[in-house]
Amino acid sequence: MKKLLVTTALSGLLIAGSANAQTTISGELRINYGAASADGGAANAVKSQRGFGAEQQLNIQTKGKLNIGGIDYAAGFSIENDGEQSTTIFNENVYMDFIKGDTTLSLSRDHIQRSDTDRSAAVLLGYSPNDITSQSGLSAATAPTRFQQSPGPQVRQNFSVALLQKTPIGTFSAAYTPTATEVSGIRTTASTQSSNVNSERTGEPNATAESAYEIGFTGNLGVQGLDAYYFYGEEAKRNGYATKADIENIGVKYTHSGITAGYTYKKYNDASTSTRTENKENHYGLGYAVNKDVTVALLMADAKGTGDTQKEKAKSIQVGYNLGPVGMVAGYGTADNIANVATQDSKAVFVRFIGAF
């Protein structure tokens, strides 16, 4: 009888939902335009490309209280179509959180604070060094750009169990995933990188992947206007591999009187069957809020991997404008020495319109 009552209670919850829950639906639409010209040197003809892109996202979220221990909970998922996505559209911001005071236990994917963030001021307007260097298509023709959006063990891109603790100076987090199915492809060929990305998006198990963990901190350290973070992640060494994947990501941003200065440093190594190849990135950003509607940002960044003879560099100027229900970002960027090839340079212009609902 007890088993029947429990089953009936759960069935009622699944069919009718919880009377104490609050469910919301929100979304975002992005429409982009980009145009780039690039010189690939002797091995590649001068290239140019232009076109529109779009991203649609719906967020479904609910929150309420459990009937034991005064524990709050929050759950949700996002439906994201990035361009015309042929793989899963359900791999972003999927979570179920259990909250007691300042402590949260999260069972989630792409949800908690994460190590692939940047504090360089350009991210205030949305275009990172990876966006700028990958505009031309040159990196896909030879080797991936040295700037990686999500390097190292992909703990946050896989389902993980995480513990978060809020404190007066910021939030500490620790996350563990039993299978890290994706590492950055900075030292792989373009075809291998594409395979890795598909594996990440579908969440399919990787036969060689191992467990991974990530610890992190984000907060102001008790200083008004400061935004700092530190993350370290590591994957267990894969069977037959000589090295393991790891990442250290440090950043700081400070805002005062409308001026924002930011710096990001990344150091990471990919899982490899050969020797360790350490890659480093430095991002420097400066932003200025002209008024409540207009923001201007400058970005300079460099990246270099083990064995590279020169640094890959990215520069951009970006302007953001608040149009009320719509935000607009426009910018111009240059990239030099893409993928450690001195003759591979590019120039790009980009425009993005963002509408939330």
Task: Tell whether 298 is covered by a domain.
Answer: yes
Kindly state whether residue 7 falls inside one of the protein's structural domains. no
The answer to whether residues 254 and 284 touch, using CB atoms and an 8 Å cutoff, is no
Mean of pLDDT values over 343-356: 89
Task: Tell me the C-alpha distance between 40 and 147, whole Å.
Answer: 18
Q: How far is CA 228 from CA 104, 134, 282, in A?
A: 21, 27, 15
* Residue 327 forms part of a structural domain: yes
Residue 46 located in a structural domain? yes
Q: 241: domain range?
A: 21-356
Question: Which residues, other chains included, contact 194 with Cβ-Cβ below 8 Å and sequence gap of 6+?
Answer: none
The CATH number linked to 117 is 2.40.160.10
**Domain tally, the chain:** 1
Is residue 101 assigned to a domain? yes
* Residue 13 within any structural domain of the chain: no
CB-CB contact of 136 with 47 (8 Å): yes
The phi and psi torsions of 136 (rounded to 5 degrees) equal -75, -25
pLDDT digits (tens, 9 = 90+) for 113-154: 877 667 676 566 778 888 888 766 665 555 678 888 777 787
Global pTM value: 0.81
Count of other CB atoms within 10 angstroms of residue 84: 7
Q: Model confidence at 226, in pLDDT bands (50, 70, 90)? A: very high
Q: Among candidates 234, 87, 211, 81, which has minimal Cα distance to 159?
A: 211
Question: Is residue 12, in this structure, part of any structural domain at all?
Answer: no
Mean pLDDT value across residues 227-233: 93
pLDDT, mean of residues 23-36: 91
